Amino acid sequence: MDSNNTAAADDDGEAGSTTPYRCRYPNCGMAFRNASKCARHFRTHDGERPFICQVAGCGKSYMRPEHLRRHMMAHTGERPFRCDQCQATFMASHHLKRHVQTHETATPFQCASCGASFEKAYQLREHSYRHTNVKAFACEHDGCDEAFVLKAELARHAKSHLPSRTHPCDICDGDVVFDKFSDKVAHVKECHGDRFVCPVCGRPFQTQSKLNWHTKSHDPSSRVQCHVCLKTYSNEANLAVHTRSVHDKIRPFVCPYATCNGRAFALKGTLQRHVQKCHEHVQPRRRRSALPFKNVFCGRRDRPSALDDRDDAMPI
């Protein structure tokens, strides 16, 4: 058989070719060993997405059935891939593979509760706070009994004690405060540039895209409406969160404490507030000081601005 006949046989998918199924899309020419792979590849050209989620209010579509199956786990909460070392679970095998690599690095400091390991001792110490829910950082503002697991949480809370009529600069992270709103706007224009300041509320942004996203919240015509309960939201992302949590009842964040019997929440922040409220074991001791914020483990005291400068958000 000459070369021309061989090429024709390959194009027709006849036996004898290792890749008999060729893509018919113009100027492509990719070949596959079976028809299903060839058909799956062809969808990348024509945009067909035949695998559709049947959950009410969702309707997302995918090119491959495995992509739909993985999407359905977001509705069911299924996480079939489990780590043998720490029992963490994942929806996709590549997520598990990436997680397992964290066990293979040089992390000598291991958590006795869950097996997670860390490179540095302070990382393990910060991580352990999440298991015991020890609120080591207490606000010592007069009349305030709030306490927090992490320094950053205390720093954010400390700003609530600023006088109500002051206007902190959002870019300076609240360390620069003005008595008048007009002074704040003038500061933002002088120190941070006036290209990314909201003309309605004066809030500054570091990029034009963030400002554009924010300004939609001031425009009633850009709000999107839930077709079920008719509530409106400033953007599609917030509407999607509302739909999943309220109408689809998807609650992927499960309380790790056995006494809650698997109680789940729609948002991570809601779970964190629940844990702090319902599983509080240790109340820190409060004491007045010129430096009002104290870590009851190491005894170090700081002002609110200093708390922001230290690393604290450690993975569980």
pLDDT tens string 46-72: 777 778 888 887 878 887 787 888 888
The residue with greater pLDDT, 290 or 194, is: 194
At 200, the amino acid letter reads V
pTM as predicted: 0.27
pLDDT tens string 120-155: 777 787 777 777 777 778 888 888 888 887 777 888
Residues 6+ apart with CB under 8 A from 228: 57, 243, 247
In the chain, the domains with their CATH numbers are 3-48 (3.30.160.60), 52-104 (3.30.160.60), 121-307 (3.30.160.60)
Q: How many other β-carbons are positioned within 10 Å of the β-carbon of residue 151?
A: 23
DSSP 250-314: ---EE---GGGTT-EESSHHHHHHHHHHHS---PPPP---SS-EEETTT--EE-HHHHTTS----
pLDDT tens string 172-219: 765 677 777 777 777 777 776 656 778 777 777 767 777 777 877 777
Q: Assign 52 to helix, strand or coil.
A: strand
- Of the candidates 277, 313, 302, 308, the one whose C-alpha atom is nearest the C-alpha of residue 140 is 302
